[in-house]
Chains A and B, each alone.
Chain A
Amino acid sequence: MSLVATAITKRFRDVTAVNNLSFTVPEGSLFGFLGPNGAGKTTTMRVVLDIIKPDQGQVTWRGRPFHQLGRGFYGYLPEERGLYPKMRVVEHLEFLGRIHGLDRGKAQAETRRWIERFDLGELSHKRIEELSKGNQQKVQTIGTMLHQPELLVLDEPFAGLDPVNTSLLKEVLLESHHRGCTVIFSSHRMEQVEEMCDDIVLIDQGSLVLNGNLKQIKRSMGRQILRISLEGKQDFWARIPGLRLLSSRADYQELRMDDGVDPNDVLREAMDAGQVTRFELVEPSLDQIFVEKVGAGA
């Protein structure tokens, strides 16, 4: 385990933003950090990176507490984006490279490389304030990885990016991952997390809901989702106790079975109702897990 958070608690006056939260991030993983709005994700990231001190608990990286490690071995994209508005793109990136510990030559070389990679060549001598929000975000994202950090912590890195840049960033994150970098990012787009991440943590109201390998989490939730499509009476399931309709799409319906319901019984009923063209037991999607775990309260 590379990053271990142990029982961290952070209070602001009478609000408890993070409450006795423990989780682990495996080394070299692409890690999804999930939670509804106001769950304490940003505060947790700040505590993890030793930007603010927790009231209790501690965070270690490869067994050593964060505050002993010095800064700059990681890259951090805060939720609140911000750059020096008067600086030029090249200047700013070189500066970010330098404060992350690169020497001047290396900072210049890396800046050139990344500007090309993110297709910012034409903008490289413009002031930050002249750039669009999306391009500013690209610059800031580059700023987190110029120095090839061991750890990347990105708060909503995809928010506000168009599809082209989204796939570009996805590519870059996967590259970092293959290089061995541990990448932690938060997102509201569950299918993206599902597509990219091996491991996740899900928090709600400052407390832990889920943490671990995404596949194992899904498996442990059980194959209790049924996908059925049939030509005939669509509402046959209403006669079976313990079934709930999750979604109804043009191509299939998704039903959730409570414990104790036998899928074979459901199949029999369906066959009575009409011609069954699809009958599948599937694991829940991350979206469904998310809604199920935090949706009730939210």
Chain B
Amino acid sequence: MSMIPVLVKREFTSRAKGTSYIITTVLGVLVFVGLSFLPPIVERFSASFVPDSIDLLVWEHPGENSILPYLEQVSQEREGLTIRSASGMDEQEAYRLVLDQGLSGLLLVDGPLYTLVTTDGTNMMLNGEIESIVNRAVNRFNAVRLGLSAEDMASLFNRVELKVREVTPLGEDGEELDSTAQSQAMVLTYFLLFMIYMALVMYGNMVATGVAEEKSSRIMEVMVSTVTPLELMLGKIIGVGSLGLLQFVIWVGTGFLMNTMGNTGVLNTLFGSSEILSTIPLDIVLWFGLFFVAGYFFYASIFAAAGALVSRVEEVSQVVSILMMMIMVGFFGAYTSFLNPNSAFAVVTSLVPFTSPMVMFSRIVLGNPPVAQIVVSVLVLFLSVLVGAWVSAKIYRIGILMYGKRPSLRQVVQLVKG
């Protein structure tokens, strides 16, 4: 009779009651709740960069062509913009007026030379805003000078949009790519990708630490005298995995809840509109599930073996650092696939099992990778899960009763061969 259910239950219940698990779960919930209040906060926050009212004093070198009327035209179209003329003042008086009345700035116009004198020179948002105001005025000024009508102006600045269509090797004409759908898919993929990344890092580490804890508390010898090392390892991996799943369900559930509670919900922020949530394609969910589970099993068994190689919990971080690096490469590979799902780097990393759970997933969601590549990637990953579990179980079996100096890589290879 397999003891895995008993082991999973122990792993799950004893950890779920642990302080650290409860704290991270609650913190995660708080983050999700906090995120849903983010839009109004961000709105208010970014609003403070650009003041609603811009009060600009304009001082022009005397000459024939004054820009002032055009600036005033712009001010009639843009709310909160006040243009004052400084004609008749000298420069010193103009500066004083800006300081005394707390104006946004003094615009010095000298032929083609425009200078903003302000008390708040590092406010990039304000500078940029005034620059665009000035340019709008200058455009109008130039249009009049060249004798262009309003229609001419409109057609001059008319922008066209580039539509993208994909053609598949089969010769069919692809559907037109909807750029908003594409960017929504990117946000969704990024979110799911980040979940895979978090799961691998957090729960992989939890597995390795758990194994090292069992070694350092010396419970290991009792355990291996009652269950096989493979059962022990699988019990731990499944136990920690279900713990992680519960945490994610709680977090995402919180997000959905916040979403339904108000239309300022977190998922709203992430996806732009709440409609997209009901339209998450089922195939994306299935692909996510596949790569999430397979990737977790693959990494968790290696993390377990790594934990079995050390004697004390403090040494865990040293042996898992290389695994963490592999996960980061995977995340990076997935990120490059955002920019171009078919770049050489993305293709290669989507086939290697260490990185494929993240890269192939994002390639599938964002692009249309060749079916052969998907098949190869999934097969390699599945095979690697089996081989990884087998090799890890071997290392685990010997490592768990080995104390003292950590074995070198060569000794580990010998263990696996022997």
Contacts and interface: CB of A to CB of B under 8 A. Distances in A.
Report if A and B associate in a common complex: yes
Given A85-B217, A95-B6, A99-B226, A51 B401 contact: yes
Interface in B131-164: none
A80 B3 contact: no
Given A78-B222, A101-B1, A71 B227 contact: yes
A87 interface: yes
A78 B218 CA distance: 9
A71 B18 CA distance: 30
B86 interface: no
A71 B228 contact: yes
B220 A82 contact: yes
Given A78-B221, A99-B6, A52 B226 contact: no
Interface string A96-116: 101111000000000000000
Contacts of B227: 71-72, 99
A86 interface: yes
A82 B222 contact: yes
Nearest to A71: B226
Contact of A82 (B7, B219, B226, B228): B219
A71 B6 contact: no
Interface string B221-244: 111111110000000000000000
A121 to B, nearest CB: 22
B226 A51 contact: no
Interface residues of A, number: 26
Interface string B192-230: 000000000000000000000010011111111111100
A80 B10 contact: no
Contacts of A101: 1
Interface in B38-57: none
A208 interface: no
Considering residues A84, A86, A99, A100, which has the most beta carbons from chain B within 10 angstroms of its beta carbon?
A99
A51 B221 contact: yes
Given A71-B227, A83-B217, A85-B217, A98 B222 contact: no
Considering residues B218, B223, B226, B227, which has the most beta carbons from chain A within 10 angstroms of its beta carbon?
B226
Given A99-B3, A99-B227, A101-B1, A80 B218 contact: yes
A76 B222 contact: yes
Nearest to A49: B225
Contacts of B7: 99
Considering residues B1, B217, B221, B401, which has the most beta carbons from chain A within 10 angstroms of its beta carbon?
B221
A216 to B, nearest CB: 32
A143 interface: yes
A81 B214 CA distance: 12
Nearest to A107: B6
A96 B219 CA distance: 11
Given A71-B226, A72-B226, A95 B219 contact: no
A229 B71 CA distance: 129
Interface residues of B, number: 21
Contacts of B224: 51
Contact of B18 (A51, A76, A86, A99): A86
Nearest to A153: B225
Given A82-B217, A84-B219, A101-B1, A51 B14 contact: no
A52 B226 CA distance: 13
A29 interface: no
A74 B3 CA distance: 16
Contacts of B3: 72, 98-99
A237 to B, nearest CB: 50
Considering residues B10, B223, B228, which has the most beta carbons from chain A within 10 angstroms of its beta carbon?
B10
A52 B217 CA distance: 19
Interface in B6-21: 6-7, 10, 14, 18
A281 to B, nearest CB: 45
Nearest to A74: B225
Contact of B6 (A51, A82, A98, A140): A98
A71 B225 contact: yes
A46 interface: yes
A85 to B, nearest CB: 6
A98 B221 CA distance: 17
A269 to B, nearest CB: 56
Contact of B222 (A52, A85, A87, A140): A140
Nearest to A78: B221
B377 to A, nearest CB: 37
A148 B228 CA distance: 20
20 contacts: A51-B225, A71-B225, A71-B228, A72-B227, A76-B222, A76-B225, A78-B222, A78-B225, A82-B220, A84-B14, A84-B214, A84-B217, A84-B219, A86-B14, A95-B6, A95-B10, A99-B227, A100-B226, A101-B1, A140-B222
Given A76-B226, A82-B222, A99-B7, 12 more contacts: A71-B225, A72-B226, A76-B221, A80-B221, A82-B217, A82-B221, A83-B219, A84-B219, A86-B18, A91-B14, A95-B10, A99-B226
Interface of B: 1, 3, 6-7, 10, 14, 18, 214, 217-228, 401
Question: Shortest 8 CB-CB distances between A and B: which pairs?
Answer: A82-B218, A78-B221, A82-B219, A76-B225, A80-B218, A98-B6, A99-B226, A82-B217
